[in-house]
Amino acid sequence: MPVKHQAVHDIRTPLCEGEILQVQDLEFAYPSGYAALRGIDLCIREGERVALVGPNGAGKSTLMLHLNGILGQSKAILIAGLPVIPENYPVIRALVGLVFQNPDDQLFSPTVFEDVAFGPLHMGLSEEEIYQRVEEALAAVQMSEFEDHLCYHLSMGQKKRVAIATVLAMRPKILVLDEPSAGLDPRARRSLIQFLDTLPITMLAATHDMRLVEDLFPRMVIMDEGEIVADGLTSRLMANDSLLKAHGLESSRA
């Protein structure tokens, strides 16, 4: 049983009215009865980059799957002011770009083009606009020349980029990434970090990669056992060794 620390909330504003992501007292239990989320409060401003860290089973992925209603509706979450309820699903799924950990789960079409086109196509856009968005999204991840390639033939780093392009094509307001650097060799990881740094978009990323957090995310949220135990400046929380240790983490300098 980890020692509970006093929650550190030095960024949270008392009211997060009008912000891109608002989560207030989100609870969730799986059908088996396991309480995965116990009263999550989280606000993210437009343009912010937030890292979500914590041990395995802390509830990070469960929280992320809630943000676009994959695990069912929730009035505790507002995306750009819209509650996550079935009527809003089509809009919310375009607003929240969810990138899964394993790009092989995310890229389910035979070719790169078809996969990037899937989101825009199911948003009901015109053919012309679909082509334009696919082109744009692939250009943004520097993968334009791979349009006709088979997904299977891509390297891990390329797959990650295309996976990000598949949600960029939907023009999301917030990019939600699950373990963006997992499974990458050092060079592919470095290039992914550089690339993510160029994206002018609100970002929330769950990760175990503390150097990625330090390089890319000024704000850090620590989750453990379904609760947010710390939320603050990355530089400050990283310096708090006992806090990190208590939740199974270590700083990047360790």
Residue ranges that bind other proteins, judged by CB under 8 A = 65, 68, 70, 89-90, 93-94, 96, 98, 100, 102, 104-111, 114, 117-119, 121-124, 127, 130, 148, 150-153, 166-167, 170
Question: Are 215 and 193 spatial neighbours (Cβ–Cβ below 8 Å)?
Answer: yes
| 22: three-class secondary structure by DSSP | strand
DSSP string, 42-79: EEE-TT-EEEEE--TTSSHHHHHHHTTTTT--EEEEEE
Q: Closest separation between CB of residue 100 and other proteins, Å?
A: 5
Shortest distance in whole angstroms from residue 164 CB to other proteins: 12
- Nearer to other proteins (CB atom), residue 28 or residue 118: 118
Residue 82 or residue 246: which is nearer to other proteins going by CB? 82
Tell me how far the alpha carbon of residue 173 is from its chain's centroid.
12
Q: Give the shortest CB-163-to-other proteins separation in angstroms.
A: 9
Show Cβ contacts of residue 159 under 8 Å, excluding neighbours closer than 6 positions.
103, 104, 107, 151
Instruction: Mention every residue, 6+ apart, whose C-beta is less than 8 A from residue 57.
Output: none
State in angstroms the smallest separation of the CB of 81 from other proteins.
20
Q: Least distance in Å: CB of 106 to other proteins?
A: 5
Q: Which of residues 202 and 234 has its CB atom nearest to other proteins in the complex?
A: 202
Question: For the chain, how long is the longest CA-to-CA vector?
Answer: 56
Q: Which is nearer to other proteins, 68 or 181 (CB)?
A: 68
